[in-house]
Structure 1
Amino acid sequence: MLDTTTTGQLAAYFERISQPIELIASLDDSEGAQQIRELITEIAAIAPAKISARFDGQFARRPSFQITRVGHDMGVHFAAVPMGHEFTSLVLALLWAGGHPPKVEPELLEQIRAIDGDFAFDTFMSLTCHNCPDVVQAMNLMAVFNPRIRAVAIDGGLFQAEVEQRQIMAVPSVFLNDQPFGNGRMEVAEILAKIDTGAAKREAAKLSEKAPYEVLIIGGGPAGAAAAVYAARKGIRTGIVAERFGGQTMDTLAIENFISVQETDGPKFAAALEAHVRQYGVDVMTLQRVAHIEPAPQPGGYATVTLDNGATLKGRSIILATGARWRNMNVPGEAEYRTKGVAYCPHCDGPLFKGKDVAVIGGGNSGIEAAIDLAGIVRSVTVLEFADQLKADQVLVDKLRSLPNVTVHLNAQTTEVTGDGQKMTGLTWKDRVTGEEHAPALAGVFVQIGLVPNTEFLKGTIELSRFGEIVIDAKGHTSVPGIFAAGDATTVPYKQIIIATGEGAKAALSAFDHLIRTPAAA
C-alpha cells in the first residue's frame, strides 16, 4: 500500500518517536478491513522497535483501529483507511502518541489538559475532503493530551449505513456524545471554546488588554495577509483579526493561476500566507468575528473595533479585508436542508452522494467544474442556469457536454428545495421562457452562484454599493478617513486571489501614507 518513497519518508519521521506506540485493529471480512490490516502492518514494519500492531481489538465499529501509547488507552481511532487527504492526520497522530510535541501554543495544550468531563467525538469525513483533516487532527490532538476525550474519524464511504441512519449529507460532520456538535472546518481553539464554557470570557479579557495598533486589519484572506506583510515591513505595530486565516482559499481545491506558483491547493496556499505574515511578527488573532467599528473621533485618533465576544481593539488605521462568501439561492427550503442535501463544496461532500441524483445551480466556472467533478461520482447531474447560456470557459463547457450523465437546463429559475423534514428529496424549478415548472427528485443540490461580500456589520459606518461592496477609490480609501479596504469585499472588479493580494498591498501603503501625514492625537 505504501510505496518506497513514502516508506522512506515515514522512517525519517518515526525517528522522532520517543515512546513506544501500538496500533490495535478491530477488523471484519470487508475490503476496507483488508486495507487497514495491510496499512498498519506496513507502518509497524518501518519502525518495529517503536511501533507494534495488534488485531485483537473489540471496538464497536469494524473495521477500525486505535493509535495509543503502550500502557495507555488514548482515544484516537480511525474507522477509515486514512489515505488521501487524511494520511497527514494519520502521521501526526502517530507522532503525537509517540511523544513528539505538536506545533501548537503551550497555552492551548494546557487548556486541553484542563478540560473536565467525558467527551466522545465522532467525526464523519470523506477522504477527498480538503476541509476534513483540520477537524480530524484537532480531535486527535485533544484525544492524545486528555485521556477523557475520545475521537473517532469515520469515513462516510466506508460506513454508508451509519451515514444514512444519522442523515449525514455534508462533511466534516461532528457528533459529541451522539448529539450533533458542528459541521464544516473547525480549529482546536474553536472546538475548545464550545466545550470550555469560560474560554470566551477569558479570551475577550485577554484581547481587550492589547495595546493599540498602528494598522489593524480585519480579515485573514489573501488581501488581509498582503496588507499585514506590507504594513509590518514598515516597522509599525500591526494586528490582524479574522474568523480564520486563509479566507475563501481554504475552500478552494486547486489554484493554478497565481503567477509564479504553477499549482497548489487552497489549504497549502493559506498556510503559506499565514507563515509569511507571522514571519514579520504580526499579532494574529483568529476565530474572532467583528461586530462593529467606531471610527476615530478626531484625525490621528484611534478607531475602536468591537468583537462578537465583547472584546475591543484599537487602531490608528483600519484595513477592511473581510472577503466574500458563497451566495445563497434564498429560496424556501434552502436553509432548512443545508447540510441535509443542500451543499456548497462538491469536493468535500460529493462522495456522500455516490450513485445518487444531484443538481448543480450555476453555469459559471465554479458550477461547471462542480458538475464535471460530481459526474464521476454520482448517478446523474442536472445543471440549472438562470441565464440563456452557460458562462463558464468554453473548455469546461466542452468537457461538460461530453459527459453522458449530465443534463443542462438554461433559463432555469430554482424556486424551492423540497424534503421530508429530515433531508432534501428534490427541488422545483421554472422554465423562464415557457413558464413550465419541473420538480425532479434529487438527493442533493450544490449551489455555485457567485459571492456576496461580508460587509453586513459595516452598514451605516462606511459607504457601500448597492451590492453591499465597500466603495473604494484607486488607493483603497473608503468614505471614512483612516479606514481602508481591499479584496473581494470591495468594488474592485474581478474577484481573483492575485488581485486581492495586490489590493491588500496597496491598502497597506495607503494606510502608512495616512499615518505619516496625520499627527497622532493627544
Structure 2
Amino acid sequence: MLDETLKGQLQAYLQKLLQPIELVAALDDSAKSQELDGLLHEIAALSDKITLRRDDSETRKPSFAINRVGTDIGVRFAGLPMGHEFTSLVLALLQVGGHPSKTAADVIEQVQNLDGEFRFETYFSLSCQNCPDVVQALNLMSVLNPNIQHVAIDGALYQDEVEQRQVMSVPTVFLNGEVFDQGRMSLEQILAKIDTGSSAREAEKIKAKGAFDVLVIGGGPAGAAAAIYAARKGIRTGVAAERFGGQVLDTMSIENFISVDYTEGPKLGAALEQHVKNYDVDIMNLQRADSLVPASDATGGLVEVQLANGATLKSKTVILSTGARWRQMGVPGEDQYRNKGVAYCPHCDGPLFKGKRVAVIGGGNSGVEAAIDLAGIVAHVTLIEFDSKLRADDVLQRKLRSLPNVDIIVSALSTEVLGDGQKVSALVYKDRVSEEMHTLELEGIFVQIGLLPNTEWLKGTLELSPRGEIVIDERGQTSLPGVFAAGDATTVPYKQIVIAMGAGSTAALSAFDHLIRTSAPAAEVKKVALA
C-alpha cells in the first residue's frame, strides 16, 4: 500500500508518539479488507509503540480503530483512509499516541469542557478536499474528550448505508444518529453548533475591543493579503471572517498561481491563515457581517461593522473582501433538494453517484471540467448550457465530446428540479429554440454556472454594480470615504486568486494612505499619549 518514500516519512512522524497505541482491525473476505490488513501491518511495523490485533465483532467491515492503550481514547475509520484522508490517518495516529495538537489552548479547553454524550459519524469520499477538515476536527475532539466518539466512513465503500441514510453530499455528519450538518466545517464551527453559549461569549469579547486602524472583512486571498500589508505598516489591524480561507478552500487544484506549479485550495487556505498569524493581527473567525455604518459624527468618525452575533466593530478604515459563492439556478426544487441530489462540488460528491445518471448545468470551463470528471464515475452525464454553444476552452470541449457516456444540450433553460421528497428524480428544462419542455430523468444535478458576490448586506450603503459587485476605482476605493474593497466581491474584471491578492494589497496600501492623510493611526496616537 505504501511506497518506500511514504513509509520513511510516516516512520519519521511516528517517532513523535508518546504513548502506546493499538490498531484493532475488523475484516472480512473482501479485497478491500485484504488491502486494509496490509496497510495496518505496514503501519504497525514502523514503530515499537504500535501493536495490531483483530476483532471482527464490529459491524462495519473493513474498518479499524486507533486506541490509546489502557484508556477509552480512540478513533475509528470505516474504509481505507488514503487519498485526501491519509493526512487524517497520520494525525489520528499521532494524537491518539499523545502528540499534542497545535490547536489554540482556549479551543482545546472548550472541547474538554463539553458535557453530554456525542457519537459522531462522518461520511467522506477519498476525492473530497473538504472532508479532511471535518474528519480531523472530530477525531481531535474524540481524543480530547472521552464523551465524544467519532467514526469516519468512506461513503463509496458503504453504498448501502449511503442509500439507506440518504447521504448525497460529503462530508455529511451524523450526531447521535441524526443529521448534524453537511459540508466543510472547522473545529470552531462544530463547537459553535454544539456549545450553544459560545456565540454569546464571543460577542462579549468582541464588544470589548477598541477601534482598529484597518478592519478587514473577509479572510480569503484578498483579505489575507490586505491584513498582511496593513499589519506590516505597524498599525492596529483586525480581520473578521465568516470562514478564513474563503472560497479557495473549495478549490480542488490550483495550477496558475505564479511560482507554484501545483497546490490545492485547503493547503493554500491554511498557508494564508498561518501567514496572517505571523503578524500582529486580531483574527476574529466565524464572524458574519450584517451591516455597515459609514463614518459620521454619530459614530465618532469611525466606520462601524455590525456582526450577526450582535457585536459591533469600529475602525478608521475598512476593507471589504467578502468574496463570492456558487451561483444557484434559482428554480423551484433547487433549495429543497440541495445535498439531496443537487450539488455544487463534483470532486467532493461525484463518488456518491457512481453508476447513476447526472446532469451538469453550465458550459464554461468549470462545467465542462466537471462533466469530464464525472464521466469517469457515473453511468451517464448530460451537460446543459443556456447559450447556443459551449463557452469552455477548445481543448476541454474536444475531450468532453470524445467521451461515450456524455450528451450535450445547448440553448436549454433549466426550469425545475423534481424529486420524491427525499432525493432528486428529474430536471425539467425548456428548449429555447423550439420552446418545448423536456423532463430529464436522473439522480444528480451538479450546478456550475459561475459566482455570486457576497454583498447583499451592503445594499443601500455603498455603490454596487447591477450584478451586485462593489464598485471600486484603481485604488480599491469604494463610494464611501475610508471604505475600500478587493477581490471577487468587487468590479475587478477577472476573478482569480492572484488578482485578488494584488487587489487586497492595493486596498491596504490605499487605506494606509488614507489614514496618514486624514488622521494619525491609532498606534501613533498611543505613542503620543504615552509621551
Q: TM-score, normalised by structure 1?
A: 0.98
Amino acid at match of 2:463: E
Partner SS, residue 234 of structure 1 = coil
Task: Provide the alpha-carbon RMSD of the alignment.
Answer: 1.3
**Counterpart residue number, 2:220:** 221
Q: 1:300 Cα shift?
A: 7.9
Matches within 5 A, 1:38-437: 38-47=38-47, 49-298=48-297, 301-437=301-437
Q: Is the 8 A contact 2:74 2:96 kept in 1?
A: no
Q: Which range is displaced more, 28-37 or 261-270?
A: 28-37
Q: Take 2:160 and 2:293, find their aligned partners in 1: how far apart are those partners? A: 52
Return the letter of the residue paired with 1:518: T
1:21-40 correspondence to structure 2 within 5 Å: 21-40=21-40
Task: Give the Cα separation in 2 of the matches to 1:34 and 1:440.
Answer: 41
SS in 1 for 2:467: coil
Once residues 49 and 159 of structure 2 are traced to their aligned partners in structure 1, the CA distance between those partners, rounded to angstroms, is 34
Mapped partners of 1:483, 1:350: distance in 2: 41
Distance in 2, matches of 1:500 and 1:169, equals 33
Partner of 2:489: 489
Q: What is the one-letter code of the residue matched to 2:5?
A: T
The runs of 5 or more residues in structure 1 that have no matched partner are: none
Query: SS of 1:62's equivalent?
Result: coil
- Using the TM superposition, give the Cα deviation of residue 444 of structure 1 relative to its aligned residue in structure 2, in angstroms: 0.2
Aligned residue type for 2:44? A
CA–CA distance in 2 between the matches of 1:24 and 1:174? 23
| Preserved contact between residue 227 and residue 239 of structure 2 (Cα < 8 Å) | yes
Deviation digits for residues 66-107 of structure 1 (CA, Å, limit 9, x no counterpart): 111001122411011000000000000000011100110111
**Cα distance change of structure 1 residues 491 and 323 upon mapping to structure 2, 3 Å threshold:** same
Is the 2:245–2:272 Cα contact (8 Å) retained in structure 1?
yes
Tell me the SS of whatever aligns to 2:108: helix
**Aligned partners of 1:334, 1:362: CA distance in 2, in Å?**
15
* Partner in structure 1 of residue 19 of structure 2: 19
Could you tell me which residue of structure 2 aligns to residue 509 of structure 1? 509
Instruction: Note the alpha carbon deviations across 1:228-267, whole angstroms, 9 max, x for none.
Output: 1111111111111111121111111111111111111111
Secondary structure of 1:46 counterpart: coil
Deviations 1:130-168 (A, max 9, x none): 000000000000000100101000000111000000111
Contact 1:75 1:149 in 2 (8 A): no
Indicate conservation of the 8 Å contact 1:214/1:236, yes or no. Answer: yes
- Provide the C-alpha distance between the structure 1 equivalents of 2:395 and 2:208, rounded to a whole number of angstroms: 54
Q: Offset of 1:119 from its aligned partner?
A: 0.4
Amino acid at match of 2:166: Q
Separation (CA, whole Å) in 2 of partners of 1:121 and 1:454: 31
Aligned-pair CA distance for 1:193: 1.1
Q: Which amino acid aligns with 2:385?
A: E
* SS of residue matched to 1:457: helix
Shift of 1:186: 0.5
Structure 1 stretch displaced more, 112-121 or 31-40: 31-40
Give, in whole Å, the separation in 2 of the partners of 1:194 and 1:57: 35
The CA deviation string for residues 166-222 of structure 1, in whole angstroms up to 9 with x for no partner, is: 111100000100101000000111111111121111111112222221100001111
Identity %: 65
| 1:362/1:449 contact within 8 Å kept | yes
Q: Secondary structure of the residue that 1:340 maps to in structure 2?
A: coil
Answer whether contact 2:68 2:74 (CA < 8 A) is retained.
no
Deviation >4 Å, runs of 4+: none
Distance (Å, rounded) in 2 between the aligned partners of 1:210 and 1:100: 34
**For residues 42 and 120 of structure 2, what CA distance do their matches in structure 1 show?**
28
Report if the CA contact (8 A) 1:57-1:65 is conserved.
Answer: no
Larger mean Cα displacement after TM superposition, 320-329 or 205-214: 205-214
Kindly tell me the number of residue pairs found equivalent between the two proteins.
521
Moved more, 461-470 or 273-282: 273-282
Does 263-272 or 168-177 show the bigger shift? 263-272
Q: What amino acid does structure 1 have at the position aligned with 2:467?
A: F
